Each structure stands twice: as structure tokens, then as C-alpha cells.
Amino acid sequence: MASAALRVLSIVELLEAILLHIVTPPSPVEDIDDPRCASVATHSSSLLTLLSMSRVSHFWKSTIDQSQAIQRALFLTPDTASGSWNASEGGARPVLNPILQARFRNYQFRFLPPHIPMEQLDHRHSAYLVITRADADAWPQKRCPNVLDRMLLAQPPMERVAAVIWERSTAMRTTVPVTNKFFGMRIIDPNRPNGLTLGFLHQTIQEQLAEDVTINAIKLITP
């Protein structure tokens, strides 16, 4: 029995199918947008479990690294067939990275409320998150495993986000220079035009926060 199981797990195609079965997809219910909901937590946990499978053996790691289907499921490779940000196309809504939602709940990473008419959003799905200075400073310690840096924010990927100052320190703005260069800023990764990663986003935010110490929080929204 054991030898039969080992033979199955030594076949790339079968191992890939078994590993993909670990992933619990998000709930299809469109109005579940709370990042604290059970569906998000379950999806996040299944992805972290799949990531941990890389430590089983070199063969398992190689299978996970070389499988396009697994890489898409892990938000490491763009999946343009999984949905669309253009609501008028009638396809499935994009899937937000559940690990970012579940492990970094302060970010409030979610879609805009469904009561906002699509006409106001140019018939596009729109998501947002808020990153505070404290959260940005904690990212290097909380991003373990390091693979999170390479993960996309969503599938299909977000190609860009607009950044606005969400909160300023009223105490510090009277004693230090305040910059307005951040207003209307678009964040795009020139080295990866097909999607923003968590690592690049946090690096960019940390650089902007270092330039203006009066900023307490930044809101990012898909344009």
C-alpha cells in the first residue's frame, strides 16, 4: 500500500492534481467582502498549507515551482483567465489575495461596497486597502514566508493602484515640512507591468512614508 502511494506521488501530473486539491477556493457568494469571514480564512490557510508542501522534498518543491496551475493558485503567476476587473465583460469578479486579507486584517483589503453604482466606477470592479505607518514598518517581520513578497495582490492581477493620503499627524504637520507630491500618485511596477506584488507595494509605501513623516496612513484603490 505504501509503495503504491509513493508511486502515485512520484508522478508529476498526479502530485500536481493532489496539491491543487489542497486549495480551498473562495466562496462564490458575491456579497461576502469582509476579510474577516470564514471563506477568506479558509482560503488563506489552504494556500499557506500548499506553500509549506515545498519543504517535503526537492521533488515536491520542483513540482510546485514548475507547475503553472499551482503558481497561479498561489498568486505567484498572473491568471488572466480567472476573472476580469472589467464588470461589463460579465465574467467572474477578481479574487483578492486571501493571505493579505487574513494575516493583515488592519489593511481592510476588500472591494468597494456593492451599493455603489457600477456607472460611478466606470463599470469596473474596484478594491481598496489602507496601510498605516505601523503596518508598513511591521511588514519585514510579518511577511514570513518571504515568498509573500512575490505574491500578487489579486487574480487577475492589479496592474496599478492610485494612492491617496488617508491620515496625517496633526501634531507633526505644524513642525515639519509637508509634501503634496503623493496626491494622485499611481503605483506601477516598471519591472513587472503585468501585476503588482506585495513586496513592491510595501517597498513603495515605505519609501513614501520616509519622505513625509506626517503621513500616518495611505489608502490604495484600483483606478
Q: Which residues of 205-221 are buried (b: 16+ CB within 10 A; e: fewer)?
A: bbebbeebebbbbbbbe
Phi/psi at 131 (5° precision): -115, 120
Which residues have C-beta within 8 Å of that of residue 210, sequence separation ≥ 6? none
- pTM of the complete model: 0.85
Per-residue pLDDT 10s for the chain (223 aa) are: 457 777 767 778 888 999 999 987 766 554 456 777 888 888 999 999 999 999 999 999 999 999 999 999 999 999 988 788 888 877 788 999 999 999 888 999 999 876 566 566 677 888 999 999 999 988 888 777 688 999 999 999 998 888 888 888 776 555 545 555 555 567 777 777 778 999 999 988 988 888 888 889 999 998 6
* Burial tier of 9 (Cβ tally within 10 Å: 0-12, 13-18, 19+): middle
User: What is the Cα–Cα distance from 131 to 42, expressed in whole angstroms?
Assistant: 23
From residue 19, alpha-carbon distances to 60, 74, 117, 156 in Å are 9, 11, 39, 21
